Protein backbone atom coordinates (compact mmCIF):
# COMPACT_ATOMS: atom_id res chain seq x y z
CA UNK A 1 0.00 0.00 0.00
CA UNK A 2 1.18 3.49 -0.75
CA UNK A 3 2.08 5.61 2.23
CA UNK A 4 1.42 9.30 2.72
CA UNK A 5 2.52 11.14 -0.38
CA UNK A 6 3.74 14.72 -0.23
CA UNK A 7 4.76 17.05 -3.00
CA UNK A 8 6.97 18.77 -3.76
CA UNK A 9 9.83 17.16 -1.88
CA UNK A 10 11.88 20.32 -2.20
CA UNK A 11 10.82 23.86 -2.93
CA UNK A 12 13.00 26.91 -3.24
CA UNK A 13 11.19 30.17 -3.70
CA UNK A 14 11.67 33.87 -3.21
CA UNK A 15 10.17 35.94 -0.48
CA UNK A 16 6.69 37.09 -1.33
CA UNK A 17 5.83 34.16 -3.56
CA UNK A 18 2.95 31.81 -2.94
CA UNK A 19 3.81 28.28 -1.89
CA UNK A 20 1.46 25.32 -2.04
CA UNK A 21 2.33 22.03 -0.41
CA UNK A 22 0.26 18.97 -1.20
CA UNK A 23 -0.56 15.79 0.64
CA UNK A 24 -2.32 12.56 -0.20
CA UNK A 25 -3.10 10.59 2.97
CA UNK A 26 -3.33 6.85 3.24
CA UNK A 27 -6.64 5.64 1.88
CA UNK A 28 -9.17 5.08 4.65
CA UNK A 29 -7.47 7.24 7.23
CA UNK A 30 -9.75 9.72 8.92
CA UNK A 31 -7.22 12.11 10.45
CA UNK A 32 -4.74 14.32 8.65
CA UNK A 33 -2.10 16.42 10.37
CA UNK A 34 0.26 19.12 9.11
CA UNK A 35 3.47 19.65 11.09
CA UNK A 36 6.38 22.02 10.62
CA UNK A 37 9.89 21.07 11.73
CA UNK A 38 12.69 23.55 12.37
CA UNK A 39 15.85 23.37 14.42
CA UNK A 40 14.67 26.14 16.70
CA UNK A 41 11.08 25.07 17.30
CA UNK A 42 11.13 21.34 16.72
CA UNK A 43 7.97 19.65 15.46
CA UNK A 44 5.02 21.99 15.61
CA UNK A 45 1.46 20.95 14.90
CA UNK A 46 -0.01 23.47 12.52
CA UNK A 47 -3.48 22.09 11.87
CA UNK A 48 -5.31 18.81 11.77
CA UNK A 49 -8.46 17.50 10.14
CA UNK A 50 -10.92 14.79 11.01
CA UNK A 51 -13.05 13.49 8.16
CA UNK A 52 -11.95 16.48 6.07
CA UNK A 53 -13.08 19.01 8.70
CA UNK A 54 -10.47 21.24 10.37
CA UNK A 55 -10.50 20.48 14.09
CA UNK A 56 -7.72 22.63 15.47
CA UNK A 57 -5.80 25.30 13.59
CA UNK A 58 -4.39 27.03 16.64
CA UNK A 59 -0.86 26.17 15.51
CA UNK A 60 -1.11 28.02 12.23
CA UNK A 61 1.41 30.84 12.64
CA UNK A 62 -0.54 33.64 11.04
CA UNK A 63 -2.99 34.53 8.34
CA UNK A 64 -0.41 33.91 5.67
CA UNK A 65 -0.95 30.20 6.26
CA UNK A 66 -4.04 28.35 5.17
CA UNK A 67 -4.92 24.68 4.82
CA UNK A 68 -7.71 22.87 3.07
CA UNK A 69 -8.92 19.33 2.73
CA UNK A 70 -11.48 19.28 -0.07
CA UNK A 71 -11.84 15.51 0.04
CA UNK A 72 -10.57 12.47 1.90
CA UNK A 73 -7.63 11.96 -0.43
CA UNK A 74 -6.12 15.40 -0.73
CA UNK A 75 -4.99 18.31 1.41
CA UNK A 76 -3.04 21.48 0.75
CA UNK A 77 -1.06 23.85 2.91
CA UNK A 78 -0.63 27.26 1.39
CA UNK A 79 1.66 30.11 2.38
CA UNK A 80 0.98 33.47 0.83
CA UNK A 81 3.11 35.52 0.85
CA UNK A 82 6.08 33.42 1.92
CA UNK A 83 8.85 34.77 4.14
CA UNK A 84 12.37 33.48 4.88
CA UNK A 85 11.29 32.46 8.40
CA UNK A 86 8.87 29.98 6.83
CA UNK A 87 11.84 27.89 5.72
CA UNK A 88 11.35 24.47 7.29
CA UNK A 89 10.40 20.88 6.60
CA UNK A 90 6.65 20.47 6.42
CA UNK A 91 5.30 17.04 7.22
CA UNK A 92 1.90 15.66 6.47
CA UNK A 93 0.71 12.66 8.47
CA UNK A 94 -2.45 10.61 8.54
CA UNK A 95 -3.98 8.14 10.94
CA UNK A 96 -7.00 5.97 11.48
CA UNK A 97 -8.51 6.29 14.90
CA UNK A 98 -10.36 3.25 16.12
CA UNK A 99 -11.29 2.51 19.71
CA UNK A 100 -8.66 0.26 21.19
CA UNK A 101 -6.24 0.91 18.37
CA UNK A 102 -3.01 2.86 18.64
CA UNK A 103 -3.92 5.39 16.00
CA UNK A 104 -0.29 6.03 15.22
CA UNK A 105 0.58 8.66 12.67
CA UNK A 106 1.99 7.66 9.33
CA UNK A 107 4.21 10.42 8.02
CA UNK A 108 5.03 11.50 4.53
CA UNK A 109 8.63 12.14 3.60
CA UNK A 110 8.21 15.86 4.12
CA UNK A 111 8.49 18.93 1.93
CA UNK A 112 11.62 20.96 2.48
CA UNK A 113 10.85 24.62 1.87
CA UNK A 114 13.50 27.27 1.45
CA UNK A 115 12.40 30.87 1.12
CA UNK A 116 15.14 33.20 -0.06
CA UNK B 1 -2.32 22.88 28.18
CA UNK B 2 -0.76 19.58 27.26
CA UNK B 3 3.00 19.44 27.29
CA UNK B 4 5.67 16.89 26.39
CA UNK B 5 9.16 17.35 27.79
CA UNK B 6 12.33 15.59 26.72
CA UNK B 7 15.11 16.88 28.93
CA UNK B 8 18.04 15.21 27.15
CA UNK B 9 18.98 17.13 24.01
CA UNK B 10 21.64 14.58 23.09
CA UNK B 11 23.43 11.53 24.35
CA UNK B 12 26.09 9.02 23.45
CA UNK B 13 25.72 5.30 23.96
CA UNK B 14 28.16 2.50 23.38
CA UNK B 15 27.18 -0.11 20.83
CA UNK B 16 25.46 -3.13 22.42
CA UNK B 17 24.60 -1.22 25.57
CA UNK B 18 21.11 -0.14 26.64
CA UNK B 19 19.99 3.48 26.66
CA UNK B 20 17.03 5.19 28.31
CA UNK B 21 15.45 8.28 26.80
CA UNK B 22 13.39 10.39 29.16
CA UNK B 23 9.93 11.74 28.46
CA UNK B 24 7.53 13.44 30.82
CA UNK B 25 4.10 14.68 29.97
CA UNK B 26 1.43 16.82 31.47
CA UNK B 27 -2.25 16.32 30.85
CA UNK B 28 -5.50 16.31 32.76
CA UNK B 29 -7.18 13.99 30.27
CA UNK B 30 -8.05 10.56 31.68
CA UNK B 31 -7.53 8.92 28.31
CA UNK B 32 -4.43 9.51 26.22
CA UNK B 33 -1.78 7.71 24.24
CA UNK B 34 1.98 8.00 24.25
CA UNK B 35 4.18 7.37 21.23
CA UNK B 36 7.83 7.24 20.37
CA UNK B 37 9.10 8.03 16.90
CA UNK B 38 12.57 7.75 15.41
CA UNK B 39 13.92 10.21 12.86
CA UNK B 40 17.19 9.12 11.23
CA UNK B 41 19.35 11.56 9.33
CA UNK B 42 17.41 10.80 6.17
CA UNK B 43 14.48 12.64 7.73
CA UNK B 44 11.60 10.21 7.73
CA UNK B 45 9.53 9.67 10.87
CA UNK B 46 9.35 6.06 11.98
CA UNK B 47 6.83 4.86 14.56
CA UNK B 48 8.46 2.74 17.28
CA UNK B 49 6.09 2.02 20.13
CA UNK B 50 2.80 3.00 21.74
CA UNK B 51 1.43 3.03 25.28
CA UNK B 52 -2.20 3.69 26.14
CA UNK B 53 -3.02 5.41 29.40
CA UNK B 54 -5.17 2.49 30.51
CA UNK B 55 -2.68 -0.20 29.54
CA UNK B 56 -1.64 -2.17 32.60
CA UNK B 57 1.61 -3.47 31.19
CA UNK B 58 4.55 -1.62 29.71
CA UNK B 59 4.66 -1.80 25.94
CA UNK B 60 7.45 -3.69 24.21
CA UNK B 61 8.40 -3.95 20.55
CA UNK B 62 11.53 -5.93 19.87
CA UNK B 63 14.47 -4.04 21.34
CA UNK B 64 12.23 -1.15 22.35
CA UNK B 65 10.35 -0.98 25.61
CA UNK B 66 8.43 1.82 27.21
CA UNK B 67 8.80 2.38 30.94
CA UNK B 68 5.39 3.84 31.74
CA UNK B 69 4.99 5.41 35.18
CA UNK B 70 1.56 6.94 35.17
CA UNK B 71 1.70 8.56 38.59
CA UNK B 72 4.94 10.28 37.66
CA UNK B 73 3.63 11.09 34.18
CA UNK B 74 6.68 9.65 32.53
CA UNK B 75 7.04 7.42 29.49
CA UNK B 76 10.71 6.65 29.03
CA UNK B 77 11.95 4.71 26.03
CA UNK B 78 14.49 1.97 26.61
CA UNK B 79 16.54 0.70 23.68
CA UNK B 80 18.36 -2.49 24.49
CA UNK B 81 21.51 -3.75 22.75
CA UNK B 82 22.09 -0.51 20.84
CA UNK B 83 23.13 -0.76 17.22
CA UNK B 84 24.87 1.77 15.01
CA UNK B 85 21.63 2.14 13.09
CA UNK B 86 19.93 3.43 16.22
CA UNK B 87 21.75 6.74 15.83
CA UNK B 88 18.92 9.19 15.22
CA UNK B 89 16.59 11.75 16.76
CA UNK B 90 13.92 10.28 19.00
CA UNK B 91 10.64 12.01 19.67
CA UNK B 92 8.10 11.36 22.37
CA UNK B 93 4.52 12.33 21.56
CA UNK B 94 1.17 12.38 23.29
CA UNK B 95 -2.22 11.95 21.74
CA UNK B 96 -5.21 13.23 23.63
CA UNK B 97 -8.29 11.07 23.81
CA UNK B 98 -11.29 11.13 21.52
CA UNK B 99 -13.17 13.51 23.80
CA UNK B 100 -10.35 16.02 23.34
CA UNK B 101 -10.08 15.66 19.60
CA UNK B 102 -7.21 13.20 19.28
CA UNK B 103 -4.66 15.99 19.01
CA UNK B 104 -1.08 14.69 18.90
CA UNK B 105 1.86 16.86 20.00
CA UNK B 106 5.58 16.12 20.14
CA UNK B 107 8.40 16.77 22.55
CA UNK B 108 11.61 18.51 21.53
CA UNK B 109 13.47 15.30 20.79
CA UNK B 110 16.68 13.59 21.94
CA UNK B 111 19.56 12.96 19.59
CA UNK B 112 21.25 9.60 20.14
CA UNK B 113 24.65 8.74 18.77
CA UNK B 114 25.76 5.14 19.06
CA UNK B 115 29.51 4.69 19.25
CA UNK B 116 31.22 1.57 17.91
Per-residue pLDDT tens over the stretch A54-99: 999 999 988 999 999 999 999 999 999 999 999 999 999 999 877 6
Measure the CA–CA gap between A53 and A72, rounded to whole angstroms.
10
Main-chain phi, psi angles of B84, to 5 degrees: -60, -35
Beta carbons of B33 and A102 less than 8 Å apart: yes
Beta carbons of A105 and B45 less than 8 Å apart: yes
Measure the CA–CA gap between B102 and A116, rounded to whole angstroms.
36
Measure the CA–CA gap between A88 and A40, rounded to whole angstroms.
10
CB-based contact (8 Å) between A91 and chain B? yes
Distance from CA of B23 to the nearest CA of A (A): 15
CB-based contact (8 Å) between A90 and chain B? no
Per-residue pLDDT tens over the stretch A2-61: 899 999 999 999 999 999 999 999 999 999 999 999 999 899 999 999 999 999 999 998
Determine whether B20 is exposed, middle or buried from the number of CB atoms within 10 Å of its CB (0-12, 13-18, 19+).
middle
CB-based contact (8 Å) between A45 and chain B? yes
Which pLDDT belongs to residue A99?
64
Amino acid sequence: DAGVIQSPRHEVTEMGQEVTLRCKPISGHDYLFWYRQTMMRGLELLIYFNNNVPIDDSGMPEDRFSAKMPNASFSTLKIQPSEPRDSAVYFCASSLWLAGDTGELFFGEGSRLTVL
Amino acid sequence: AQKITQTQPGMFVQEKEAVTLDCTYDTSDPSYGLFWYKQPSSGEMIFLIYQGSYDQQNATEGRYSLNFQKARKSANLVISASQLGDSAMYFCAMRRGAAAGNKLTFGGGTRVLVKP
